[in-house]
Amino acid sequence: MQFIARRLATYLVAAWVAVTVNFFIPRMMPGNAVTTMMAKFPSLQPGAMKALEAEFGVGHAGSLLHQYGSYLVDLSHGNLGLSTNFYPSSVATVLGQTIPWTLTLVGTATVISFVLGTLLGILAAWRRGGLLDQLLPAFTFLQAIPYFFLALLAIDAFALHWHIFPNGQGYSMGLVPGWHWAFIKSAVYHSLLPALTLIVTSMAGWMLQMRNVMITTIGEDYVLAAQAKGLSNRRVVWTYAARNAILPNIAGFAISLGFVVAGALVMEYVFSYPGVGYTLYNAVTSDDYPLMQGIFLVIAMAVLLANLIADAIYVVADPRTRRRAAY
């Protein structure tokens, strides 16, 4: 417990740094929300600039410290400012609409690819030189293809050529999002191709790492001793070898869970999927600075949270970490 408490403190500090970086980035960079709005609506009188500055909170009234204070207060109320793109919607509203898409699709795909990759890695290591092990270079190739390239080829083949899957978007045109069967069916159908491409490209990484650590673990004396005792193969593989070899993979998985929100950027762009990544892309191309900042903050917080969960799992999985807390 002491270990978790200390970690929690660490993450609080990290969260503060992320928030602060997010505060300083726009202040070090040229361009702001008001100039975007003025450019977007040329009919606005110069006098409107003052009103807009007040509304978007730019123009930087008061000292830097004062701005920082009000920025923190706004944040604690969940106030991320207004989006220029979806004006007058707030950034928080836009995020609330986009996060569920990304979390569901990419979260599911990541979990599937982790579980599948780890299992295949265990199998490949246990059956050294077997069929799966021989196929590794092919998996390597899949991992090395740029994701969007594979996705484009998949869209070209499955959507445009064979018409098996839709070629993009989150759901069919004309449907109203909500908890009814027609919408859910359409959303799942639209998510199949993006999910498949994500799994195919990311599975190989888990598999390779698991296989390599697993092979080293199988060579350990205690695995040998377990076999010498005459334990069943199943018990040796799962309770002795895989249980220990999975630790680096768990550490990696947590980090990748945080990137769930982020790594989807390219996928969502290619598939025009209505998630966080696509929104970030649109925010960047249309200079929607408040939205960019808000999304960046959400992604950073997601990574932090994922790391906290990872630490908790790691403590459960590796007793040595628990003993270390006594130092």
SS3 of residue 215 by DSSP: helix
Q: Which residue in the set 259, 309, 313, 322 belongs to the binding site for other proteins (CB under 8 A)?
A: 259
Q: Which residue in the set 58, 203, 210, 218 belongs to the binding site for other proteins (CB under 8 A)?
A: 218
Q: Is 156 in the site for other proteins (CB under 8 A)?
A: yes
Q: Is 203 in the site for other proteins (CB under 8 A)?
A: no
Return the structure tokens found at 59: 């123009």
Q: Is 33 in the site for other proteins (CB under 8 A)?
A: no
Single-letter residue type at 251: A
Q: Which residue in the set 103, 252, 309, 313 belongs to the binding site for other proteins (CB under 8 A)?
A: 252
**Which residues, 6 or more positions from 71, have their beta carbon under 8 angstroms from its beta carbon?**
23
Q: Which residue in the set 42, 174, 178, 230 belongs to the binding site for other proteins (CB under 8 A)?
A: 230
Nearer to other proteins, 91 or 187 (CB): 91
Within positions 267 to 306, which residues make up the interface with other proteins, using CB under 8 A? 269, 280-281, 283-285, 287, 289, 292-293, 295-296, 299-301, 303-304
Nearer to other proteins, 2 or 63 (CB): 2
Min dist. Cβ of residue 326 to other proteins (A): 11
Min dist. Cβ of residue 211 to other proteins (A): 9
Say how many C-beta atoms besides its own lie within 10 A of residue 245's C-beta.
Answer: 26
Q: Which residue in the set 88, 137, 174, 178 belongs to the binding site for other proteins (CB under 8 A)?
A: 137
Report the alpha-carbon distance of residue 85 to residue 295 in Å, rounded: 14
Min dist. Cβ of residue 318 to other proteins (A): 8
**Is-contact 198 148, C-beta < 8 A?**
no
Within positions 73 to 132, which residues make up the interface with other proteins, using CB under 8 A? 128-129
**Is-contact 151 194, C-beta < 8 A?**
yes
Min dist. Cβ of residue 10 to other proteins (A): 5
Q: Which residue in the set 67, 143, 169, 172 belongs to the binding site for other proteins (CB under 8 A)?
A: 143
Whether the bond between 100 and the residue before it is cis, its omega within 30 degrees of 0, is no
Q: What is the CA radius of gyration of the chain?
A: 24
Report the alpha-carbon distance of residue 52 to residue 63 in Å, rounded: 20
Give how many residues touch other proteins by CB under 8 A: 82
Return the structure tokens found at 295: 């999304």
Report the alpha-carbon distance of residue 9 to residue 29 in Å, rounded: 31
Within positions 1 to 30, which residues make up the interface with other proteins, using CB under 8 A? 6, 10-11, 13-15, 17-18, 21, 25-26, 29-30
CA torsion, points 39, 43, 44, 45, in degrees to nearest 10? Answer: 120
Min dist. Cβ of residue 144 to other proteins (A): 2
Within positions 34 to 73, which residues make up the interface with other proteins, using CB under 8 A? none
3-state helix, strand, coil in the chain (%, to 5): 75, 0, 25
The stretch among 68-76, 85-93, 103-111, 142-150 that binds other proteins (CB under 8 A) is 142-150
Nearer to other proteins, 13 or 65 (CB): 13
Return the structure tokens found at 184: 């859910």
Name which of 213, 53, 36 is nearest 118 in CA terms: 213
Bridge partner list, 90: 82
